Amino acid sequence: MGYIRMRPRKKGKSYEFTISHVVNGKPKPIRKGGFRTEREANAAMVELEAQLAKGLNPVTKKVPFEEYFEDWIELYKVPTVSATTLKHYEYSLNAVKEYFSGTPIQNIKRHDYQRFLNWFGSNRAKQTVDKVHGHIKACVKDAMEEQYIQIDFTRKTKPTFGVQAKKAEEKHLNYEESVKLLQNIWAKIDEGLGYSLLFLIATSGVRFGEAVGLTRKDFNFNNDTITINKTWGYKKSSPSGFGPTKNEQSKRTIRIDKNTMNHFKELFNNTPTNIHGLVFYSPESKYKVISNTNINQLLKKLLLELNIEPITVHGLRHTHASILLYQKASIHYVSERLGHSDIETTLKEYTHVLKELRLQDEQVTVQTFESMVV
Find the mean pLDDT for residues 152-177: 78
Please name which of 6, 54, 2 lies closest in space to residue 30, comparing C-alpha atoms. Answer: 2
Q: What architecture (CATH level 2) is domain 65-145?
A: Orthogonal Bundle (1.10)
Check residue 230 and give its pLDDT.
Answer: 96
Please name which of 81, 61, 226, 216 lies closest in space to residue 143, comparing C-alpha atoms. Answer: 61
Find the mean pLDDT for residues 216-237: 94
| Whether the predicted model's global pTM rises above the 0.75 cut | no
Specify whether the CB–CB gap between 244 and 231 falls below 8 A: yes
pLDDT at 172 over 90: no
Which long-range contacts link 353-362 to residues 24+ away (Cβ below 8 Å)?
Answer: 353/322, 353/325, 353/326, 354/325, 356/326, 357/325, 357/326, 357/328
Single-letter residue type at 123: N
pLDDT at 19 over 70: yes
Check residue 249 and give its pLDDT.
Answer: 92
CA dist 118 and 326 (Å) reads: 37
Contacts for 343 with CB less than 8 Å, ≥ 6 apart: 331, 332, 335
CA dist 3 and 1 (Å) reads: 7
CA dist 326 and 172 (Å) reads: 13
pLDDT at 12 over 80: no
Domain ranges of the chain: 2-53, 65-145, 170-349
For 226, the 3-state DSSP assignment is strand
Check residue 217 and give its pLDDT.
Answer: 97
pLDDT at 374 over 70: no
Per-residue pLDDT tens digits for 21-61: 776 777 777 777 777 888 888 887 887 777 777 766 666 67
pLDDT at 256 over 80: yes
Task: Place 126 in a pLDDT band, splitting at 50, 70 and 90.
Answer: confident
Find the mean pLDDT for residues 347-369: 80
Find the mean pLDDT for residues 167-183: 81
Specify whether the CB–CB gap between 214 and 277 falls below 8 A: no
Check residue 25 and give its pLDDT.
Answer: 75
pLDDT at 119 over 80: yes
CATH assignment of 170-349?
Answer: 1.10.443.10
Give, for 53, the enclosing helix (H) or strand (E).
Answer: helix 38-53
Which residue would you say has higher pLDDT here, 88 or 265? 265
Check residue 120 and give its pLDDT.
Answer: 92
pLDDT at 271 over 80: yes
pLDDT at 166 over 70: no
Task: Place 169 in a pLDDT band, splitting at 50, 70 and 90.
Answer: very low
Count H helices and E strands in the chain, helices first: 14, 10
Per-residue pLDDT tens digits for 302-340: 999 998 888 999 999 999 998 998 888 999 999 999 999
